[in-house]
C-alpha cells in the first residue's frame, strides 16, 4: 500500500521508458533551490516504471543530485547515483551519502551526491543503483523522484563561485565535516558566507559547508570527520 509522506527529492534510473524534461527556472523546495526537480507530496511506491531525463542548454558545473528512497518507511543503505548523456557516456557513478527523510524519522531515505563536475549542454539520464527502493508515483510520470543543482561556468571553464580568504576568526578546515548538531541549513552559499552566518548567529557553535553551496549551522562542536569537498569551522577553534 503506497504511503503518503513528507517528501524530499529523488533521482532517475534507466528503464524502458524515458520522461524527458528541460531544466527550467529555479524551484524552491524544502528550503533548497533546485534547477530541476520532479518530486511531489503524493503517495509513493517503489521501483519506478520510467526514467526521467533533464536537458541543459549550456555547460554547467553540476553540484548536487539527490534521490528519494522512502521504501515503506525503512529507507535503504545509500548506493550510487550517476548520469548517462545522449551518446551513452557515463558520468560517475558517485557514492551517495544518506540523510533522514520524513522529518528525520526515516534513516537514509534521501541519497545525496555532490559531483562538482562540468557537464556540457545536452540531455542526461540520472541512474540510481537501487531501483527496487526508489520512490515514484503517477504525478512524476511514473519516474523516480529526483532533483539537481548546478552552478554557471565562468570564462575560464570553472565555477563562478569564488571563496577566497574569509574574514573570520574561525580556522577553516578543508576536507573536514563536523558530524551532527545541525539546526539550520542554507543553500547557494560560499564558504565565506557560511562562516559569516555562523559568526552572526549566537546559537551557532560550528558550521560545515559542502561543495554545491550547502551550509549547515551546528549548535555544538562534535567529532570532526573526513569528507571530500567540505570546509568546516568552529568558534574558539
Residue 52 — pLDDT band, cuts 50, 70, 90?
A: confident
CB burial string 152-185: b at 16+ within 10 A, e below: ebeeeeebebeeeebebebebbeeebbeebeebe
Q: Tally helices (H) and strands (E) across the chain.
A: 1, 20
Identify the architecture of domain 173-234 in CATH: 3-Layer(bba) Sandwich (3.50)
Question: Is residue 228 pLDDT above 80, yes or no?
Answer: yes
Question: Mean of the pLDDT values across residues 16-24?
Answer: 41
To the question of domain 17-152 being in CATH 2.60.120, the answer is: yes
- Degrees to nearest 5, angle at CA 117 with 18 and 209: 115
- pLDDT of 161 > 50? The answer is no
Q: What is the pLDDT of residue 7?
A: 40
- Rounded Cα gap, residues 59 and 54, in angstroms: 13
Residue % of the chain over a pLDDT of 70:
82
pLDDT tens figures, 72-87: 999 999 999 999 999 9
CATH 2.60.120 range(s) for the chain read 17-152
Tell me the torsion sign for CA atoms 216, 222, 228, 234.
positive
**pTM metric for this prediction:** 0.60
Task: Work out the percent of the chain whose per-residue pLDDT is above 90.
Answer: 49
Higher per-residue pLDDT: 26 or 100: 100
Residue ranges, comma separated, of all CATH 3.50.4.10 domains in the chain are: 173-234
Amino acid at each position: 500500500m503506497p504511503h503518503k509522506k513528507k517528501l524530499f527529492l529523488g533521482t532517475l534510473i534507466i528503464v524502458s521508458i524515458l520522461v524527458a524534461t528541460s531544466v527550467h527556472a529555479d524551484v524552491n523546495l524544502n528550503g533548497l533551490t533546485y534547477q530541476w526537480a520532479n518530486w511531489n507530496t503524493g503517495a509513493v511506491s517503489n521501483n519506478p516504471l520510467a526514467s526521467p531525463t533533464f536537458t541543459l542548454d549550456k555547460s554547467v558545473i553540476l553540484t548536487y543530485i539527490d534521490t528519494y528512497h522512502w521504501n515503506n518507511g525503512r529507507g535503504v543503505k545509500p548506493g550510487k547515483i550517476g548520469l548517462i548523456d545522449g551518446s551513452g557516456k557515463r558520468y560517475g557513478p558517485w557514492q551517495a551519502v544518506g540523510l533522514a527523510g520524513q522529518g528525520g524519522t526515516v534513516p537514509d531515505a534521501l541519497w545525496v551526491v555532490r559531483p562538482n563536475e562540468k557537464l556540457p549542454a545536452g540531455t542526461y539520464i540520472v541512474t540510481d543503483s537501487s531501483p527496487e527502493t526508489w520512490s515514484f508515483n503517477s504525478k512524476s510520470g511514473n519516474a523516480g523522484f529526483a532533483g539537481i543543482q548546478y552552478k554557471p561556468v565562468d570564462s575560464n571553464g570553472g565555477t563562478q563561485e569564488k571563496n577566497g580568504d574569509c574574514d573570520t576568526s574561525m580556522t577553516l578546515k578543508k576536507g573536514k565535516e563536523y558530524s551532527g548538531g545541525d539546526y539550520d541549513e542554507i543553500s547557494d552559499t560560499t564558504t565565506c558566507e557560511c562562516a559569516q552566518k555562523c559568526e552572526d548567529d549566537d546559537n551557532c557553535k560550528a558550521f560545515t559547508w559542502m561543495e554545491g553551496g550547502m551550509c549547515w549551522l551546528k549548535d555544538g562542536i562534535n567529532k570532526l570527520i573526513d569528507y571530500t569537498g567540505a570546509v568546516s569551522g568552529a568558534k574558539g577553534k
